[in-house]
Chain A
Amino acid sequence: MNSITPERLEKAYAIPKKDEVVKAQKLPVRYHVENGVETEDRPEKFLRAMAAILKHTNYGFALDHFSRVTAKCARCAVSCPIYEVTGKPEHVPCYRSSMLLDIYRRHFTLGGRIRARITGDIGITDEIIEEMAGSYYDCTACRRCTNACPMGIDHGLVTHLGRWILAEIGIVPRALVVSTREQISGDTHNTSAIPLPALLDSLEFMEEEMEGTKNAPVKFPVDQEGAEYLFVAPVSDYMMEAETLMGIACVMHATGGSWTIGTKNYDAINYGLFYSDQVLEKLVNNIEAEAKRLGCTKILVGECGHASRSAKFFLNNFSKICHMPVVNILEYTHDAMKAGKLTFDKTIVTEKVTYHDPCNIARPGWVVEQPREIIREFIPDFVEMTPKGRDNYCCGGGGGTVSIDEIRPWRTTIGGRKKAEQIDKTGAKIVIAPCANCKKQIRELLEDNEMPVELVGLHDLIYKALVLSPDGVAWREPEEDDFDWMGGGEEDFKPPEEAKA
């Protein structure tokens, strides 16, 4: 594993923008924002946006409580993967939260206003907004610090709110908005702008592939009305993680599951979770509408942490039509395995394997033991990272930061350092990360730190080890040509713009 050299550090902290852009936008942050960001009267606009948000939401109650009890014990500092690496006081979670809590006390409470009269505290300034703009995207909102806080202060919630207020005054990473704009008002309604014909093509390719490797007629059902589960995966999986999807399809085939992909909405990604509750609501409503259109009664989410959390914890919260259960694919596969519906060949995966807990599904204690039980069922050499489960370290790409390509040096040098150290200590040759965002981040992390470890999804391995064929053979090596469309044959999967053209 590469050490952190001064050169790498310099790159990690560097702002990849021209000075004149930083000056014009008055934003010394590492991520790009869209052109035309307003710079005049920011403090006033920030307060107006904050007032509107506090008026219509529940955040004010939480801010009031948090600012009343915060003990400033700094236990959160030593639980934060960013602070642990940088040691910089501005990366202490409690400090990050205190910026917003101070603004709340100063501008939104009677006591704060009186105290300001006496002390002459002017409150929010352009400098504080600039600091928050950087700080709230240094944080990956992994919420590990919340576990360490005796008072139960949820710094992830404060970051979540801070990002929304900033977004309301135009300060939001361009990478996030570009994706959600395509989902909400684009032609393809998905973050990667994959047109439907391209999706259907890739499904067909995968079906052919499985016919060969698994010797079984595994299908991806599309627009099957009346199916039990509407299946949504992060749409990038259809381009990047075909083996994950094929593994899922194999499990559904083995269990005889009633499921379907909807052609009106096949993207589970919800970056609204990372910067705007309004966007979050629109996107979960879209998934619900698709389920309703096809008459599905449950939502099945593929290997993706934030997409699972968005659907599980917010779909019914924002429900417009009906309430329905949300199931993560790891839960589904675990239940099927427990019910004896899955047979694995235990000789397929022989390397030492470790497992990364995606924060969004592990931190609430929702999906922690299920994947481990599945892994132990067919992988003999499994080693845990320390810490793990609810107390895991973030991969360094949480909170949507993984999609901000311009901060890759930050993510792979600072943000993911603890994860890289964890993986390195296990000595594993394969790391499983059942989350599209974690996969991208850990791949880049392994690459930039020159670590000879393979990164896969859990269903990638299930795809290989699950026995479907009547002759009991789990895996047939595909012909070389079969993989052209996946590995070296990227030309078949046009980048979104080209494909659209």
Chain B
Amino acid sequence: MDALIEFTTGPLFRLAFAICLFGLVRVLLLSVSDIYMMLRRAGERNVPWGDLFRTTVSWFVPVKHIPKHRTMYSLVSILFHAGLILVPLFYSSHVILWDKNTGLSWGFWMPQTLAHILTLTTIGGGIYLLLARALNDASRHISRGPDYFFVSLLLVPFITGIFMTNVVLAANVYQWMMMLHALSAVLILVLIPFTKIAHVALFPLGRYIAAAAWKFPKGAGDKVMATLGREKMREEIPA
């Protein structure tokens, strides 16, 4: 078991991290190139970059957006995301793991108490988000299996993490929890670029993509008509 844990937190972690990193760089570059392609094809390229940048930044710290819609959901979502991002990167054991496997050394780690609080808020937040998704009519109607699965999967390393850091809870199950903790983390890393979790990298580009998509290529309508084999517009044919 120890050897398996060693392998999972060593080579397998490094492989998963590489897949995640290169996968995200790939989708990021593809999206940036999409924006470039859209604007190249468009008849006019006057995009309000500054306005879009300000709006995008406002969503990184979405304080002003919280009170407007689904306030509790939005607030919990922020706490959930805070733990998701900070604990894997800055919890003491993780800092050592990053250093050992990738050479990335932050030079500091977060206080244990803060890590525990964030872990608990992430677990609590995740459960709340799942329930809110299932119990709210609008959310339930638009949600599919993966929407529930990914949130649940993201909670696994946090729940197992709680077990591992608590002497009483970890008494007989430490190794199993460690295994589950590491494997779930590896699975998440691999899935990130290929699933909706890719929004960790794509999130800032949404508004630029939408703005570029409103820039239409000249003559596209006529080309569509030709491709469909029609000779006249509907509006050119008497009713």
Query: CB within 8 Å of B: which of A283-322?
Result: 313-314, 316-320
User: In the bound complex, do residue B202 and residue A56 qualify as a contact, i.e. CB atoms below 8 Å apart?
Assistant: no
Q: Measured between C-beta atoms, what is the minimum distance from A305 to chain B in Å?
A: 16
* Interface assignment of B207: CB less than 8 Å from any CB of chain A: yes
Of A73, A95, A185, A276, the residue contacting B70 (CB under 8 A) is: A73
Q: Which residues of A contact B223 (CB under 8 A)?
A: 52, 55-56
Of A72, A75, A177, A314, the residue contacting B216 (CB under 8 A) is: A314
* Interface assignment of B147: CB less than 8 Å from any CB of chain A: yes
Mark contacts of B33-76 with chain A using CB atoms, 8 A cut-off: 1 yes-contact digit, 0 otherwise: 01101100111101010010001100100100100111001100
Q: Which residues of B contact A282 (CB under 8 A)?
A: 221, 233, 235
Alpha-carbon separation in the docked complex, A90 to B144 (Å) = 15
Q: Which residues of A contact B147 (CB under 8 A)?
A: 71-72
User: In the bound complex, do residue A94 and residue B142 qualify as a contact, i.e. CB atoms below 8 Å apart?
Assistant: yes
Alpha-carbon separation in the docked complex, A281 to B224 (Å) = 13
The answer to whether residues A56 and B235 also contact, given A61-B209, A75-B73 and a CB cut-off of 8 A, is no
Mark contacts of A147-170 with chain B using CB atoms, 8 A cut-off: 1 yes-contact digit, 0 otherwise: 011111110010000000001101
User: In the bound complex, do residue A71 and residue B196 qualify as a contact, i.e. CB atoms below 8 Å apart?
Assistant: yes
Q: Measured between C-beta atoms, what is the minimum distance from A37 to chain B in Å?
A: 11
User: In the bound complex, do residue A58 and residue B212 qualify as a contact, i.e. CB atoms below 8 Å apart?
Assistant: yes
* Interface assignment of A338: CB less than 8 Å from any CB of chain B: no
User: In the bound complex, do residue A319 and residue B215 qualify as a contact, i.e. CB atoms below 8 Å apart?
Assistant: no
Alpha-carbon separation in the docked complex, A52 to B141 (Å) = 31
Q: Which residues of B contact A146 (CB under 8 A)?
A: 210
Alpha-carbon separation in the docked complex, A64 to B65 (Å) = 26
User: In the bound complex, do residue B142 and residue A89 qualify as a contact, i.e. CB atoms below 8 Å apart?
Assistant: yes
Alpha-carbon separation in the docked complex, A86 to B233 (Å) = 37
User: In the bound complex, do residue A68 and residue B27 qualify as a contact, i.e. CB atoms below 8 Å apart?
Assistant: yes
Secondary structure at the B interface, as helix, strand, loop or mixed, is: helix
Alpha-carbon separation in the docked complex, A65 to B30 (Å) = 10
* Interface assignment of B236: CB less than 8 Å from any CB of chain A: yes
Q: Which residues of B contact A74 (CB under 8 A)?
A: 70, 73, 136, 138-139, 142
The answer to whether residues A89 and B137 also contact, given A56-B217, A154-B210 and a CB cut-off of 8 A, is yes
Of A79, A148, A277, the residue contacting B220 (CB under 8 A) is: A277
Closest A residue to B151 using CB positions: A71
Alpha-carbon separation in the docked complex, A149 to B55 (Å) = 11
Query: CB within 8 Å of B: which of A38-61?
Result: 48-49, 52-53, 55-59, 61
User: In the bound complex, do residue A277 and residue B228 qualify as a contact, i.e. CB atoms below 8 Å apart?
Assistant: no
Query: CB within 8 Å of B: which of A67-81?
Result: 68-75, 77-79
User: In the bound complex, do residue B219 and residue A281 qualify as a contact, i.e. CB atoms below 8 Å apart?
Assistant: yes
User: In the bound complex, do residue A278 and residue B69 qualify as a contact, i.e. CB atoms below 8 Å apart?
Assistant: no
User: In the bound complex, do residue A72 and residue B139 qualify as a contact, i.e. CB atoms below 8 Å apart?
Assistant: yes
Closest B residue to A152 using CB positions: B206
* Interface assignment of A87: CB less than 8 Å from any CB of chain B: yes
Question: What is the interface of chain A, defined by CB distance below 8 A to chain B?
Answer: 34, 48-49, 52-53, 55-59, 61-62, 64-66, 68-75, 77-79, 83, 87, 89-90, 92, 94-95, 98, 146, 148-154, 157, 167-168, 170, 172, 177-178, 180-181, 183-185, 276-282, 313-314, 316-320, 323, 364-365, 391
Q: List 5 A-B contacts (CB under 8 A).
A: A72-B133, A73-B70, A77-B139, A278-B221, A282-B233
Q: A280-B216, A318-B43 are in contact. List 5 more A-B contacts (CB 8 A).
A: A58-B42, A69-B198, A69-B202, A154-B210, A281-B221
